[in-house]
Structure 1
Amino acid sequence: MKILVVGSGGREHAIVWTLGQSPRKPTIFCAPGNAGIASLATCVPIAAHDVEALKDFVVRNHIDLTVVGPEVPLALGIADEFRKHRLKIFGPTKGAARLEASKSFSKELMQRAGIPTARAKSFTDAASALAYADQQPLPMVIKADGLAQGKGVMIATNRQQAREAIVDCMEKAVFGEAGKEVLIEEFLDGEELTIMAFTDGRTIVPMPPAQDHKRVGDGDTGLNTGGMGAYAPAPLGTAVLREQVRQQVLEPIVTHLSRIGSPFQGVLYAGLMVVKGVPYVLEFNARMGDPETQVVLPLLKTDLLEVIEAVVEHRLDQIGVEWSKEAAVCVVMTSGGYPGPYRTGVPIRGLSEVPPEHAVIFHAGTAFDQQAVVTAGGRVLGITGLGSDIASAQQTAYRAANALSFDGCHYRRDIAHRALHPRTSS
């Protein structure tokens, strides 16, 4: 069997790695891939957003299944295009992917479906947005409506910050087209949690709860990033809370999408804020999270290929999906300066010195310079440790991270601190 995985980051490396363990031993291609993925799959120099070129590759090479990692090709309608040509693909349609591509659309659906979420109002006119923000309680949240690579959310603690965020989005176009419309949302004070789920549009199979670390610095300080690490299962996601999320969040949104003619097939990501035991939806994503995928997929005991095929063929109710009782912690190593400007092309040392039984090294922003593996992005590597509990998984991840280095390398030293020190966490 031939599979194409679309994307080039740590999430896609984790998908390729997990599919590679299938007893069916599929032949895997990845477009465009990275230096780490190249050891497991044939990398193809096609950009993830080039839908036409990806389709042509699949047709020419008789690919049996395409698995989409990132959000951009989904928002562009890759699933619609492939299905039109009867090509098997794992990922939601453009209509269903609007759940992530437009925060205003997503918020409207949540309100219609009665899903717990923060109060919000959307604006396409800067003057109206500024006038509204001047009347709202602080802090408040300003969100670019469209896809902004995880960086279009600003928490304003004073009026000046709110005004700057709106002007940056709507007048200075810092986030391009994504910021032409903004959402001004009430601030929720709680603890974040991620619950992803496989769904074929009818059946929903939640994954273990995970927690991402967005801030660049220890103690959750500094600028927001695409994610500095994650762990699973997060203790915050108790059995009671998970059932709440299934009944109050996942089932209503899947049902509502089907009702409006956009059934969701793929992975549904619910980014939650848990306030006094109540899960409120901060955002939905239409694909696996990054770096959450790097801690959740290593806990999957069932063959991922079997799960994906069941989703694509609308028979998810016919298979049992099992998860390991272990824990996983992922530490993300970044280029110096990230999430601001950073250097690339920096050689990475120690990759061959980490025994595979100690940790899994998922490449995010890497490339080859002749035979050497070098940095090629802000987030460079995700080091995932497994263990019988969070503490042992954390030790394994950091032991491996300490064996790796590159000039300017930065990583947080407290990933999973909320699980290990819940009373002292901020």
Structure 2
Amino acid sequence: MSAPGTAVPGAGAVAPERPTPAGSPWWDARTWRWWVQVLAVYAAARAVSAVLLLVAAAAQGPTPWAGDHPTYTQVTGLFWDAGWYHRIAEEGYPGTLPIGDDGTVQQNAWAFFPLYPMLVRGLMAITTLPWEVVAPTTSLLLGAAAVLLVHRAVAVGAPRAVAARPGLPLATVALTSVFPTAVVLQVAYTEALALLLVAAALLLLVRRQYLATAGVLVLLGFTRAVALPMAVVVGVHVLARWRAARRGDDELGPRDWAAMLGLGGVAVASGFVWPAICQWVTGVPGAYLRTQEAWRGLREVTPFGGWDYVLEFWFGSAGWWVLAGAVALVVAVLVVPAAWRLGPELHAWPAAYLLYLAAAVEPGSSLARFLVLAFPLGAVTAGVVTRPPAARRAWFAGVVLLMLVLQAVWVWRFWRLTSGWPP
């Protein structure tokens, strides 16, 4: 197995930094280090999102979490699922599942994973600050670390794409930061931590640092239910290395095979560890799935369940046509040349993740925020137009503007408590 940081045949290599023009003024972005550029883009995007949240808060009436016109910390730290994480941080998880009069499991904390609330709880103990201050601040900082890793993952994992579209890592960061639901990167939700762990896992996997990747996947298994599609990515990585070895571009020894197969096992196990703990503590078989049923319109959790009635609810008789159009769009994004220029790991992740979402999640308003984790699609979008430079810049600016408009619509429509549909 190759030592960390060494160049290996077939592995992604960090694209060389573009030379900085001598004597450039401080306001020329080309004089900034890559991480300064990343954090500047992220900070600007979060500032816009903060304004949108404040505008929505100014029009918000009384809610179960706050009174009229809640403050920024209340909006980002207490609303919607943040309230569940707050409860977990202060009370932990119940020893038994709450059962309604009809015998069904009611909504409860076991639907939410423990790493984020426990992390915030520890920081609250250290700082002595309240949840609504510590939790959103933690998410904001985790999001900053996440976009740094997103930049590195694209730079290391997609050298062909970066060569075709210079500046692609920063462009990916920008599109991830202004994504219509990227507001969740600064509220008391788990997306910021999950994005950090997903980007870290992909980066470490490309670098063939398998032990570190396994550790990240274990953490991911206690953050969100997204570890299983990562097992598919590990499988694609193994296949890519095997094919490279057959071409003579790589060497695979027994230790490599053992490490890769072990990593695949960790990925699969991480996808089931939290449901297993939920069942063990409560003593109820399938306790996690029964808890998930409490949030569904159809109680039974089945693969691809709920698409029929949800499509009819939102779009009526045109629902299946809308679904066909959405599937066609996703497939097109995954097969355009810009997608194939990504490394196999970055290409496989959004494909496996989107298929997993379609199978495991009942389609609804929350589905939009789950898409934040599919950040390689940002690289595809930014890389669709590579030349001439003027067309590339116009395309990118148009996508950024569209995403910001959609973000304003999403915050106004869903983050305010009006319809009852959760963000």
Q: TM-score band, normalised by the shorter chain?
A: under 0.3
Structure with bigger RCO (C-alpha 8 Å, 6+ apart)? 2
- Looking at secondary structure, tell me which structure has more strand per residue: 1
Could you tell me the TM-score, scaled by structure 2's length? 0.24
Structure label with greater radius of gyration: 2
